[in-house]
Amino acid sequence: MLIVSSDHHLQHHPELEFFEGELKRYHDTPERASIVLAALREAGVGPIIPPQDYGLTPILALHSPDYVDYLQHAYQRWVADGGIAAGVYPDSFPVRRMSRRPAKLSALAGFYAFDLTAIIAAGTWEAAYYAAQCALTAAHRVRDGAGAAFALCRPPGHHAHADLCGGYCFLNNAAIAANWLASAGSVSLKEDAALASHPPTQRIAMFDIDFHHGNGSQDLFYERSDVLFVSIHGDPDRQYPYYLGAATETGSGEGVGYTVNYPLDAGITDDRYLQVLRLAIERIARHQPEFLVVSLGVDTFAGDPFGDFQLTAAAYPRIGAEIAQLNLPTVFIMEGGYAIEQLGRNVAGVLIGFQTK
Ligand SMILES: [Zn+2]
């Protein structure tokens, strides 16, 4: 399986985040991606290639121009305004009935964020931009017949909305790839200036198996029927991102029936998880997609500091093998996973299980 990876993520390394009432070491460390890459290399999963640069057009097809402009320039503007060099840290949020867009950078930081985890440090834009390019490169190769590809994206993306960062996410890599596959059809990425206005030509399924609900991905496609969004995750009544992810959320308008959530209890074990996974896969098969985009997080692992599922390492090859049963051209996009010691093995497990069926 083709692996797309870029060193640009190394430039994104915020040191601290506000977590459980304290300033703690930032969880999304550069070593996360380095560990996964080393494990994939060691396991011989496939050739590793750098991303192509497709520019901003496929990003702007999903994210709002003002938000993208903010991400590009926030750090420099923050520092120029006297902000600390460690990164942009929002402290005010326009929740309920407060919605005006302010001019001041420190206030924009809250305007474009829904939590305190998406810290914009000096190299964050570069990292986020190339993570999206990794996802697009993987999608492009799969569209051109590669069968399957894995984009080692960091920062992750599935929590990012059209104009909101959060959950360590800035640009929604998986959604950008899915949207490109859905709307670009046979149009080359190089010549698709009008991509945003292309009518949908392909049926896509997004399958989010990160421990956390993919609130950004759901929101981006909530009113669309061409991109099915299916997610298995910790019940938002007890787990982040709390404010989306219920089973009652099924889409709206044209998208009714094209969002499917499987919120699960704490303590889920391998066999029960695989049962739910098979249900989700049956739903995906009924959509008859041309392409599958998997948001691959392994924070479902028993040892993960964020999750409360109890999956063992043995679950991951089984998950990969079940997904392979769909027999679809598949783009895997790296999302979460914070049990550093087992992170590489678990990601490799899914991809190897997929390849060996
Ligand atoms: Zn997660």
Q: Which domains are assigned to the chain?
A: 2-55+123-356 (3.40.800.20)
CA distance 100 to 5: 39
Whether the Cβ atoms of residue 269 and residue 308 lie closer than 8 Å to each other = no
Amino acid in position 279? L
> Would you list the DSSP string of 293-345?
EEEE--TTBTT-SS----B-TTHHHHHHHHHHTT---EEEEE-----HHHHHH
Per DSSP bridges, beta strands 22-25 and 16-19 are antiparallel
159 is catalytic: yes
Q: Residue 7 carries which DSSP code?
A: G
pTM: 0.95
Structure tokens at 155: 């920062």
User: Which pLDDT does position 187 carry in this prediction?
Assistant: 45
The distance from CA 89 to its chain's CA centroid, rounded to whole angstroms, is 22
User: What would the pLDDT profile of 185-204 be if each residue is shown by its tens digit?
Assistant: 444 444 454 444 445 568 99
pLDDT score of 183: 84
Q: Report the pLDDT value the prediction gives residue 194, as an integer from 0 to 100.
A: 45
> Ligand 1 center to residue 301 CA distance, Å?
11
CA of 211 to the centre of ligand 1 (A): 5
Collapse the DSSP code of 350 into the 3-class scheme (helix H, G, I; strand E, B; otherwise coil) and give the result: helix
Catalytic residue among 158, 159, 213, 287: 159
pLDDT score, position 349: 98
- Residue 298 neighbours by CB under 8 Å, 6+ apart: 304, 316, 336, 337, 339, 342, 343, 346, 347, 350
Instruction: Give 57 Cα–ligand 1 centroid separation in angstroms.
Output: 27
CA of 335 to the centre of ligand 1 (A): 7
**DSSP letter (8 states) at residue 149:** E
The list of the chain residues with pLDDT below 70 reads: 184-201, 357
Rg over CA atoms, the chain: 19
Going from the Cα of 188 to the center of ligand 1, the distance in angstroms, rounded, reads 32
Q: What's the pLDDT score for residue 42?
A: 97
Long-range contacts of 90-97, Cβ-Cβ distance < 8 Å, separation of 24 or more: 90/116
